[in-house]
Every structure is written in structure tokens, then in C-alpha cells.
Amino acid sequence: MKIGFIGLGNMGGPMAANLAKAGHDVTGFDAADVTIEGVTPANSAEEAAQGAEVVITMLPNGQILRSVADQVVPVMDKGAVLLDCSTVDVDSARAVAEQAQAAGLSALDAPVSGGVGGAQNGTLTFMVGGDEAGFDTARDLFDIMGQKAVHCGPSGNGQAAKICNNMILGATMIVTCEAFALADKLGLDRQAMFDVVSTSSGQSWSMNTYCPAPGVGPTSPADNGYQPGFAAELMLKDLRLAQEAASSADADTPIGEAAMKLYAQFVEEEDGNGRDFSAMLPRFEKRVRG
């Protein structure tokens, strides 16, 4: 397949490399000067998009996605697919999809979970919104870049699934960390705490798979000085998107809002920036009630 790939950063770079390695003809563009093995460099987003059957974008936010869509939609062939894998606000995802459809294109919003490791190893999970035909065209590409793609319904629903998932993740990570800090103060051994909770009704991905306590449970960023992993500032981005969506849909999400405020404080006023999002545990360890 002839593919245009725009946004070759930490995620987009290895995703584009995996598509090229699998034999696809990939032309890439990034605003910063980057070269990716096997990917033909283009001088502009338009150049990368011209003649492509699928144009993939992996960009920082909805505003940048909208400006790149303004560049590429007019030059894309009718029937081609615009496949956005960035995490952006639901409104931007739906606006870009409408713009693409009005130009005779298929549009998919397909944010991912799995992080940089998942992008490198081709084990991402894609949450996909958009039409069935576009999903069918992109299916082979999802198989190369990831291990699972779930079609969640019409445009914007991929982003909706992503922010709901990450709102649960942020909140469960916080409560798992505060529970460990409470257990410490109650004299409960961390290993005992893990052994009980990971097999009881308090279990979650945050406890069982990504345990925030060093030396306890499976190997996680806690065992590597809280190097990300999934950085606290990226969690903050997703929690803010969840609150934006909750506000525009008039949904009451008090725990999601509290999680967003706590990560904002951690990243913007404390030492959370650049640390894994599970570094909430050493944060709570140092604190007292009040």
C-alpha cells in the first residue's frame, strides 16, 4: 500500500518504520528534521499525502491535527483514508472527519494505547471511530502496528474510548498509590498488600500489571526509578481531554476531575514532570493528611 505518514515522533517514528519493514511504500513528513529507516522523506505534509491510499497522522494535539488536515485533505485522492492515531479532543476528531468525508475521503480516529514500547514492538491497541469501509482498508495496517483494533462506532468514538479508559487508569493509579502510602503508615508490608489486593476485589491494571511499588509485583517503571513508561504529563493531557469532553457532553465526572487536578499539581507545581505517572507513590509517601 502507498502510505503517507505525518508526525514521526516517539510514537509515529517506530510505527512508520514497522509499516515500511512490512513492505509498504511509506513516505513520511515531520515538522522537525527526522529520518526513519525505510521511510522516504517528504518536504511537506502535502507531498507525503499526494497519491497515498492511506494518510496516517500521529501529532501532538487537536489544533495541529486540524491544521495538518487543512493541508492534506485537498490533495488526497478520492476514496483514500485519513487515519489519525493521535490522542486529541473528540470535537477535533469529529470536525476533521467531517472535513475529510466532505472531500470524498474515509476518515478514522484511531488513538492507541501501549506507549512507545508498543509502537516499537508493533503491539499497540487501536480504538477506532469511523466508517466500516475505512476500518476494513486499514485493518492490515493495524495488524502490523498493533495487536488489537476495536471498532468503537462512528467518528470520534475512538477518542471517546481512549479518554474513558485513561480516566479510569489515572484514577485507579492514584488510589492504588494512596492505598500503598496508607498501608505503610498502618504497618502493613507492601508485598502482603500486593498479594492480597492483586487477588482481591481491589485489583486493577495499575496494581496487577504496573505496580507502583518498587520490588513488588511485576517489573514496572517503579523498578527503574520511575523513568517513563507513561509520563505523568501525558496522563495529565488525557485527563484534561476527558474533562473537556465531560464538560461538552454535560457528564458528571467528579473522580476524573479530582484525578486531573492532582496530576496538574504533580506535573506543574511539584516534581512530576518527566516522571512516570506511577511516581504518585513516592509523592504520597512524603505527605501527611491536611
Q: Say whether residue 115 binds ligand NAD (CB under 6 A).
A: yes
CA 182 to chain centre: 30
Q: Taking CA 176 as the corner, what is the angle to CA 120 and CA 86, rounded to the nearest 5 degrees? A: 35
Q: Say whether residue 1 binds ligand NAD (CB under 6 A).
A: no
Which cell numbers hold the place of 240?
Answer: 484534561
- Kindly indicate which of the ranges 112-120, 173-181, 216-224, 262-270 contains the residues binding ligand NAD, using the contact rule CB under 6 A: 112-120
Q: Which of 87, 92, 243, 278 binds ligand NAD (CB under 6 A)?
A: 87
2 is catalytic: no
Q: What is the largest CA-CA distance in the chain?
A: 65
Q: Say whether residue 233 binds ligand NAD (CB under 6 A).
A: no
Which cell numbers hold the place of 163?
Answer: 479518554
Nearer to ligand NAD, 38 or 115 (CB): 115
Q: Which of 100, 160, 234, 267 binds ligand NAD (CB under 6 A)?
A: 234
Q: Say whether residue 146 binds ligand NAD (CB under 6 A).
A: no
Per-residue string for binding with ligand NAD, 50-69, x by CB under 6 A?
--------xxx---x--xx-
Catalytic hit among 2, 21, 78, 162: 162
Helices of type H across the chain: 12-21, 45-49, 62-72, 90-102, 115-121, 132-145, 157-186, 190-197, 205-208, 232-249, 254-268, 280-285
Tell me how far, at minimum, the Cβ of 71 lies from ligand NAD, in Å: 8
Tell me how far, at minimum, the Cβ of 59 lies from ligand NAD, in Å: 5
**Helix or strand or coil: residue 126?**
strand
Percent of residues in the chain assigned helix, strand, coil, to nearest 5: 50, 15, 35
Which cell numbers hold the place of 171?
Answer: 484514577
Q: Which of 2, 21, 22, 31 binds ligand NAD (CB under 6 A)?
A: 31
Q: Which of 39, 45, 69, 174 binds ligand NAD (CB under 6 A)?
A: 45
Closest by alpha carbon to 146, among 121, 109, 110?
Answer: 121
- Give the position of cell 476518515: 107
Q: Report the alpha-carbon distance of residue 75 to residue 194 in Å, rounded.
A: 55
Q: Which of 18, 86, 125, 253 binds ligand NAD (CB under 6 A)?
A: 86
Count the site residues for ligand NAD by CB under 6 A.
26
Q: Say whether residue 15 binds ligand NAD (CB under 6 A).
A: no
Q: Which of 210, 226, 230, 277 binds ligand NAD (CB under 6 A)?
A: 230
Q: Which of 69, 80, 83, 112 binds ligand NAD (CB under 6 A)?
A: 112
Which cell numbers hold the place of 225?
Answer: 526509578
Closest by alpha carbon to 241, among 90, 18, 95?
Answer: 90
Q: Say whether residue 7 binds ligand NAD (CB under 6 A).
A: yes
Q: Where in the sequence numbering do the catalytic residues fall?
A: 162
Q: Which residues bind ligand NAD (CB under 6 A)?
A: 6-12, 29-32, 45, 58-60, 64, 67-68, 86-87, 112, 115-116, 230, 234, 237
